[in-house]
Amino acid sequence: MLPKSKWSRGGSKPLMKFPNLEEFITRHRDATIAEFEGEAQRIQEFNDKELRFKAAVITAPSASQPYQSHVLRVDLSAERCSVVQKMEIDTVALNSSWARYTELVVHVPPADAEKLGGYLNPNLGRSSTNPDSLRSDKGASWIYIQLRLQASRVNIDAELRPVRWLVDGVAGQEGNDVLSYLMKFEEPKRTVDLRKSYPQLADLNLIMHTSIRVAMREIIQGFDQDQSKAYKSLNSIPEGVCFIPGGPGAGKTRWALSTALVAQAGVKPCKVLYLVDINSAVDDAADRMQALYNKTGLKNKAIRMLSWPGVDKTLFEENNQKGGIPRATMAADFTEGFLRAESCPRVGMRAPTLHQAACEVFNSPGYQFTYAVQYNRILGELWKIKTSSGHKKNLKADLESLRKTLVPLYFHTICNADFIATTPVVARWVRMIFHPDIVIFNECGHARELTTIMSLAFFRPKAYFFVGDHRQTEPYAEDTGHKYAPQLKMSTLERADANGAAPNQLLVNHRATGCGPYLGNTKSTKCLDGLGWCLGSSSIIGATRASKRRKRPSWSPVHHEVVMGHVKELLRDQKFTQVDGETPGTVMILTPYRAATAKYLEHVTKLNKRMKDRVMVRTIDAAQGQEADVVFFDLVKDHGTTHTDNPKRLCVSLTRARQAELIMLSAGMASSGVNNHTRKIWKLCESGEAGAILHIRPPKANNCMSAAADSTE
């Protein structure tokens, strides 16, 4: 295993400017490969132990559901299983009565599928109506399994392939000029006036439709002074790259989406690609854009694309086409997603997924009339699969026939999309189908530079909007001890700001009282030097006693019960509204750990729909860009960790609330020598300078499961 080391001991100082492209590539490539090799070695060491885990089979595939996988409840509570939990195995929500078990979606070889299905425990299923079977593991048919992990090359391949393209000159002269600018941030060779392509950006009167013009004017007039300055700078964008950094609640996402919306409101088509490396943020962005379309009267449609069906990665390199469709698209298997979307259509006003959008196109009269041959072919294949005759005998052949007929439909859906929100890794597969005029890369403050430049290698838009906040988050990278590892934690946005290439800072906080790094328009990158400013007078620390057990799961029953009790009390209170005094207030539950997030999600999903829709549960890393009226921040553990005391991560946690926040913090964590910043929070609240401390005693009957028992009211 590669040795661990701190930056100060093992890593070289990150460069803010690169003398040439070769230095940039060497640093990022070598550090990325070292990180992957370290991860692969840890996985191999785990596999070599051949550990056995106790498991129960609770769902298994059936003939009528060919795509369903096995779901196993596996006991991963032992310390030895920490590697398994870290590797982000495909999991589903925990069942409340099996606290020490994790449900895993398992794909087994066909030869083992029938054998595994013989151990199925239908009475233990998540939809079981027998509560007694869910509260005890008695009567379960237990099996013992081995989990063999495999190091995924998806991310490393996605990051290193653009590097190879840039070295080979695939980006072209224009792409190389942009890249050279990003290396040194020196005088650009050209500036882009986006208003020439979309003149309505400068003069809203050019929007022909009256109601749309009025709606756009209302949006632009709602910009604050910083947002207006950034909007006016669209007439001179260096190399077409516009950096928009800003503080929490400054409206960075709103600015980017609104600007793109105005560009789409004119006569000339404008396609927008929205990139963010968090799937939950992809959902949120697509939904927000769809809401803007609905509000302003634009007939455009946003699509959220969370994945791309696995195909041979070698096809990615090929530009060959068949009938005008790229080979990588021809080989894609959209069948599973289409069948699920067709049986469960979109409900409500949310933006559709790619599969839901394809289904809606398929069912539209325009497609049925214009593409009657394709429509009838798909209809015929669907009929063969849905009818019982021949379903069991020729299912595989029928599904393959359906797959081939669906490709032109999906190609048509993507080509004609106006707005696609997805991750950078998925976006690379649509590079030959969807040609955006504007690329918005949001939350790029915590995106690695190799991820950021994917958009340079794969797309040629008129303008790039790089939006984010490097003062709150940073790119994640394993501390491998490699000399260039620190460079992986440096984002393009942070380098741009340090070199004066990000003049359009959004610093007006529309959410709360303000955060230290942004008061007085400071550009300090020392996020928590003024930690007290992150805490409003409405901040409260719920203090609990430290446990004698230092090693415990990443979930606190005491904290959980207190938080869920307050959440339900707030949601019942009719006086709990947003700042407008009319709309019902919203709640966010924030934790550093996925295990705690899963437990909260499990109980939140049991609330009635009216209450459930007002609650958001997030890990810290997935909370960037999110906000709520009241935030419950559960630090979970009772001893200090460097993970929870990370200053940028804490800054994210303390700037999500619009009105008030409750921080669940153990006294043991506050006194830990590891937690310097957490201790500052405690002292500021203890002195009354910012917030207050409320001591919480563990309930006599420590059973947080009962706290959620009445959640279906």
Question: What is the pLDDT, as a whole number, of residue 5?
Answer: 35
Q: State both tokens at 5.
A: 């080391």
- CA-to-CA dists, residue 110 to 66, 310, 445, angstroms: 12, 19, 43
Q: What is the pLDDT of residues 257-300, one digit of tens each?
A: 999 999 999 999 999 999 998 888 898 899 999 999 999 999 99
Higher pLDDT, 299 or 2: 299
Question: What is the pLDDT, as a whole number, of residue 390?
Answer: 47
Q: What is the pLDDT of residues 88-144, one digit of tens each?
A: 333 333 333 444 566 677 766 666 666 776 777 655 544 444 434 444 455 556 777
What CA–CA distance (Å, rounded) separates 284 from 593? 21
What CA–CA distance (Å, rounded) separates 362 from 345? 12
Give mean pLDDT, residues 177-183.
Answer: 89
- The dihedral sign for the CA sequence 468, 472, 476, 480: positive
- CA-to-CA dists, residue 38 to 4, 14, 33, 45, 446, angstroms: 10, 21, 9, 11, 22
Higher pLDDT, 122 or 69: 69
Check pLDDT > 70 for residue 389: no
Q: What is the pLDDT of residues 520-570, one digit of tens each?
A: 332 222 223 333 333 444 456 655 555 544 445 577 788 888 888 889 888
Q: What is the pLDDT of residues 48-63, one digit of tens each?
A: 888 777 777 777 766 5
State the pLDDT confidence band at 574, using cuts at 50, 70 and 90: confident
Question: What is the pLDDT, as a whole number, of residue 526?
Answer: 28
Question: What is the pLDDT, as a whole number, of residue 696?
Answer: 65
256 contact partners, CB below 8 Å, separation of at least 6: 244, 440, 442, 465, 467
Check pLDDT > 90 for residue 499: yes
Question: What is the pLDDT, as a whole number, of residue 238?
Answer: 95
- CA-to-CA dists, residue 192 to 206, 419, 463, angstroms: 21, 22, 8
State the pLDDT confidence band at 406, using cuts at 50, 70 and 90: very high
Burial class (CB in 10 A: 0-12, 13-18, 19+), 45: exposed
Residue 584 gets which letter from DSSP? Answer: B
Check pLDDT > 90 for residue 634: no
Higher pLDDT, 540 or 381: 381
Question: What is the pLDDT, as a whole number, of residue 603?
Answer: 86
Of 275, 259, 249, residue with least CA distance to 623: 249
Q: What is the pLDDT of residues 241-257, one digit of tens each?
A: 999 998 877 889 999 99
What CA–CA distance (Å, rounded) separates 241 from 502? 10
Round the average pLDDT of the chain to a whole number and report it.
77
User: Which range (24-28, 127-131, 165-169, 261-265) has the least confidence?
Assistant: 127-131
Contact 292, 424 (CB under 8 A): no
Of 493, 500, 434, residue with least CA distance to 465: 493
Q: State both tokens at 330.
A: 């021809």
State the pLDDT confidence band at 692, using cuts at 50, 70 and 90: low
Q: Give the DSSP letter string of 493-513.
A: HHHHHHTT-----B---SSSS
State the pLDDT confidence band at 710, using cuts at 50, 70 and 90: very low
Question: What is the pLDDT, as a whole number, of residue 150?
Answer: 76
Question: What is the pLDDT, as a whole number, of residue 646?
Answer: 73
Question: What is the pLDDT, as a whole number, of residue 166?
Answer: 66
Check pLDDT > 90 for residue 666: no
State the pLDDT confidence band at 354, using cuts at 50, 70 and 90: very high
Contact 663, 633 (CB under 8 A): yes
What CA–CA distance (Å, rounded) separates 140 from 586? 40
Q: For a pLDDT cut of 90, what percent of the chain falls above it?
A: 29
H or E stretch covering 630: strand 628-634
Whole-prediction pTM value?
0.76
State the pLDDT confidence band at 351, using cuts at 50, 70 and 90: very high
State the pLDDT confidence band at 40, using cuts at 50, 70 and 90: confident
Give mean pLDDT, residues 428-437.
Answer: 90
